[in-house]
């Protein structure tokens, strides 16, 4: 089970009214390498992975939900007060027609989220290598969004999220090290 804390992992501030940024950010909401995909990937793979790394997948999967919430907050702030005209200018007219200002799990191009974005191969190494790749892809996505955004406060939040992807990739790499370790051999650091 989970215990919900009614606050964000990191404060989300957006200082400019630029709904176009919401269109980019939605990539990390419902895109292939987004936070939803990440959370569901890890929280599902953890059932069939060696005990030593189950906790890692639970922890990171849970943190991804906290990231999802941050992205949702950013998108919401950028769109809640936008007029249909502004949304149109931002390229969000198709989104508005279907969803008004509601959030939805799709990527920056409007393609809805699908479970085919994630995998559970049941092979611990294959799954962890997928997880490492997913983290590096999410890190790259944050870089591209930062490149497209000139909102300093938003970028501050995005930089935090990107840093977390670096840490997640590090921990997944360590998980591989744990699983590949030979039995009865002394550990050297």
Partner 1 sequence: MFTTRKQYEPYVSPFDPCAPILVKTYVTPPNLYVGFQPPNLPQFPLHEALKKGTLWKIFYDPYYSPYEMANKGDGQ
Q: Smaller CB distance to Fe ion: residue 130 or 165?
A: 165
Q: Smaller CB distance to Fe ion: residue 27 or 165?
A: 165
Tokens 């007219």: give the residue: 93
Q: Rounded CA gap, 176 and 184, in Å? A: 17
**103 φ/ψ sector (left φ>0, alpha ψ -120 to 50, else beta):** beta
Q: Smaller CB distance to partner 1: residue 101 or 149?
A: 149
Q: Rounded CA gap, 185 and 189, in Å? A: 13
What mask of x and - would describe binding to partner 1 in positions 96 to 135, judged by CB under 8 A?
----------------------------------------
**43 φ/ψ sector (left φ>0, alpha ψ -120 to 50, else beta):** alpha
Q: Smaller CB distance to partner 1: residue 123 or 181?
A: 181
**Shortest distance in whole angstroms from residue 91 CB to partner 1:** 20
Q: Rounded CA gap, 170 and 37, in Å? A: 19
Site for partner 1 in 143-182 (CB under 8 A): 143, 146-150, 152, 155, 159-164, 166-167, 169-170, 173-174, 177-178
User: What, of Fe ion, partner 1, none, does residue 161 touch, CB below 5 to 8 Å by kind?
Assistant: partner 1
Report the DSSP beta bridge partners of residue 112.
106
**Shortest distance in whole angstroms from residue 28 CB to partner 1:** 14
- Chain centroid offset of residue 171 CA: 16
**Using the rule CB under 8 A, is 66 a contact of partner 1?**
no
User: What, of Fe ion, partner 1, none, does residue 98 touch, CB below 5 to 8 Å by kind?
Assistant: none
User: What, of Fe ion, partner 1, none, does residue 77 touch, CB below 5 to 8 Å by kind?
Assistant: none
Between vectors from CA 62 to CA 105 and to CA 25, what angle results, nearest 5°?
Answer: 35
């Amino acid at each position: 089970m989970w215990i919900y804390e009614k606050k964000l992992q990191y404060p989300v501030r957006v200082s400019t009214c630029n709904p176009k940024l919401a269109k980019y950010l939605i990539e990390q909401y419902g895109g292939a390498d987004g936070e939803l995909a990440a959370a569901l990937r890890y929280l599902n793979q953890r059932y069939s992975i060696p005990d030593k790394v189950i906790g890692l997948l639970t922890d990171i999967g849970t943190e991804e939900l906290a990231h999802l919430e941050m992205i949702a907050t950013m998108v919401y702030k950028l769109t809640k007060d936008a007029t249909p005209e502004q949304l149109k200018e931002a390229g969000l007219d198709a989104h508005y027609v279907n969803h008004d200002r509601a959030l939805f799990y799709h990527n920056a191009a409007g393609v809805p989220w699908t479970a085919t974005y994630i995998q559970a191969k049941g092979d611990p190494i294959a799954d962890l290598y997928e997880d490492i790749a997913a983290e590096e892809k999410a890190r790259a996505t944050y870089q591209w969004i930062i490149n497209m955004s000139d909102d300093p406060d938003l970028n501050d939040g995005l930089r935090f999220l990107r840093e977390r992807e670096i840490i997640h990739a590090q921990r997944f790499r360590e998980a591989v090290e744990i699983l590949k370790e030979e039995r009865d051999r002394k550990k050297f650091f």
